[in-house]
Chains A and B, each alone.
Chain A
């Protein structure tokens, strides 16, 4: 096969064995790869009602047909599993170099199933696959574990070329939002794939490959990649965000009034200067890219005063907003350190920020006693935030309760209305009272409150006047959300990164995605095929969730977004008017009034068997 390498590595941790299977080319074309293909396999192979942390759950690492090919930003790998945080199907992807290396080792996907009786890690050196004991790694942070595995590999050059993704103490301790961390700072975080990995006693996967990925039309592929690269170099939006990283957006989102502040109690932050791009620049020493990406949105910071140690890899916008303004923290150094703690212990920064913000509000309102936490937890207290993050990752002290996420926390203290999330997933840093389309996307996103399922800010916020859709309007948003959800699914499945494609004009670059996908695979994709595949995958994920027990009642937003008007900023006085959009969205999706895909729609998508 071209684009895909055509093989799946299946590892059974219960038996301590593995097998290699051929990839079905028709299935690959219909579900593209990455998120799509892995979701199809998960749907077929597990009962959606299983307990996510049981050995029956599976964890799939899936590259896409563009991963590692040199396609622009083709460095992604997606983890797909049933989420222990949300109970939905969950796909969480990351960049770096891990996904490409899986392909160079000769596999499109690694399926992990069962549960090892003892801690192990998986070592994949091309065709040599070993399940190795990891007792010495258990309890180590993600940073430490990477270093130890490299030492165990021995050969300096092989170790240098080995890519590692693993969990820290948070994953071992089954923190519900535990992440899988690669290259010390590249993270598949949302929905807790790290906890699933921990439940299987799998500490890490280390991969090195020396094989080739073939592309169908080498000359055409080189031309389309070069054209795309050159176009990107000239693009204004991308030149800016590719240079600064997404964190620079905090200033403009504050002006827009869609920044979460103090557990989403406000949409603008008086301390925003402390977190701004201007402040970020004072610490910035260099930037790094992921594989194949002309963006270099992974900043590296250095502190001169050694307040928190030396060098730190920077965060993106969501981390900055959720561990910064959402916790009332205006000290950038504290947020950089918080990001570090999350990456080192292996936790999703977004859910961590959402949960701490929720705890801070519970504390300030007097619902959560200081005696339970052991210290004061006011908004803006950076030191308390850092301490609570450490406790959460290790499940010590009050961290044991934090580790269950904000939904369980708010419920436990009798105020579920203070949980700000969807389907138990803490929300991203775009207030849907200000961006109405984002509200519809969050309510319907298949993994819960995730902005990236349909990145509507490309039309509702970061858009030139001719493209800008009025953020406070609901008209046209159902169609926008459906279109973007399908399109983003294509990008996630192909193995390319949403961020740079979303920053381009026009956003998501359909023609460039298609031409790279077709030149790499030669599978005969048309524009319609590609979008239909996105829609097919979206509906498949929906069917998984319905079978897992989710209903229309779950397609909603938290109390605060629907009932409490924004008190400040340009969106002052607004709530999210979800009811004006949801029925239209169901209709456009070809779903009935209960949000269930009709049999006609499923037939159109070739999903008759999934009903």
Chain B
């Protein structure tokens, strides 16, 4: 089995992965807001987040993630398509989005387009 490994320390915030994702899933269209991977600029870091499962309700736990002497809101790291965030949902129609590894066999375009190796496709 393989998975997409994220090394946020290598991400420079070019958003090319979002373009690659939307071109793969919507024919001839570039739209980062409909991408199943989003790069969030959080404090000093660029954080790629890949869309995971859909959840109906807002979660009740609020976590903190410490990185290099700074504390980050865990909500930003969450992969869920959820009611409190517009990411990983289709604008206008609100349908949840989830990463599908670009089909079968998996061939994630975001990894292909990433030039800094922040994203890699690895065996688990």
Interface residue ranges, A against B (CB under 8 Å): 2, 68-70, 97, 100, 104, 157-158, 160-161, 209-218, 221-222, 225-226, 229, 232-233, 285-294, 296, 300, 311
B19 at the interface (CB under 8 A from A): yes
> For window 81-110 of chain B, which residues contact chain A by CB distance below 8 Å?
85-87, 91-92, 109
Q: How far is the CB of B59 from chain A (nearest CB, A)?
A: 16
B60 at the interface (CB under 8 A from A): no
Known: A70-B20, A233-B115, A296-B116. A214 touches B14 (CB 8 A): no
* A160 engages B40 (CB within 8 Å): yes
* B14 engages A289 (CB within 8 Å): yes
B56 at the interface (CB under 8 A from A): no
Q: How far is the CB of B62 from chain A (nearest CB, A)?
A: 14
Name 6 extra pairs, CB < 8 A, besides A70-B16, A215-B23, A215-B29.
A70-B20, A210-B92, A211-B31, A218-B27, A222-B109, A287-B12
* B23 engages A291 (CB within 8 Å): no
The 8 Å CB contact of B85, one of A157, A217, A225, A285, is A157
Which residues of the partner chain B approach A215 to less than 8 Å between Cβ atoms? 23, 28-30
Which residues of the partner chain A approach B33 to less than 8 Å between Cβ atoms? 104, 161, 209-210
B15, B33, B46 pick with most chain A CB within 10 angstroms? B15
The 8 Å CB contact of B15, one of A212, A286, A292, is A292
* A69 engages B46 (CB within 8 Å): no
* A97 engages B26 (CB within 8 Å): no
* B29 engages A212 (CB within 8 Å): yes
A-B contact pairs, 15 of them (CB 8 A): A68-B30, A70-B16, A70-B19, A70-B20, A70-B113, A160-B41, A161-B86, A211-B31, A212-B22, A215-B23, A222-B109, A233-B115, A287-B12, A289-B12, A292-B15
* B86 engages A294 (CB within 8 Å): no
Whole-angstrom distance between the alpha carbons of A69 and B14 in the complex?
A: 12
Which residues of the partner chain A approach B31 to less than 8 Å between Cβ atoms? 104, 210-213
Of chain A, the residue at the smallest CB distance from B86 is: A157
Which residues of the partner chain B approach A233 to less than 8 Å between Cβ atoms? 115
Whole-angstrom distance between the alpha carbons of A358 and B94 in the complex?
A: 58
The 8 Å CB contact of B14, one of A158, A212, A292, is A292
B48 at the interface (CB under 8 A from A): no
Whole-angstrom distance between the alpha carbons of A104 and B51 in the complex?
A: 21
* A216 engages B19 (CB within 8 Å): no
Q: How far is the CB of A29 from chain B (nearest CB, A)?
A: 19
* B34 engages A311 (CB within 8 Å): no
Which residues of the partner chain A approach B20 to less than 8 Å between Cβ atoms? 70, 222
* B30 engages A70 (CB within 8 Å): yes
Which residues of the partner chain B approach A292 to less than 8 Å between Cβ atoms? 14-16, 19
Which residues of the partner chain A approach B115 to less than 8 Å between Cβ atoms? 229, 232-233, 294
> For window 29-73 of chain B, which residues contact chain A by CB distance below 8 Å?
29-34, 40-41, 44, 46
Whole-angstrom distance between the alpha carbons of A69 and B31 in the complex?
A: 9
Whole-angstrom distance between the alpha carbons of A233 and B13 in the complex?
A: 17
* A210 engages B91 (CB within 8 Å): yes
* A294 engages B44 (CB within 8 Å): no
Known: A158-B86, A222-B23, A288-B12. A216 touches B116 (CB 8 A): no
Q: How far is the CB of A63 from chain B (nearest CB, A)?
A: 13
B5 at the interface (CB under 8 A from A): no
* A216 engages B28 (CB within 8 Å): yes
* B26 engages A289 (CB within 8 Å): no
B3 at the interface (CB under 8 A from A): no
* B87 engages A97 (CB within 8 Å): no
* B32 engages A104 (CB within 8 Å): yes
Q: How far is the CB of B24 from chain A (nearest CB, A)?
A: 8
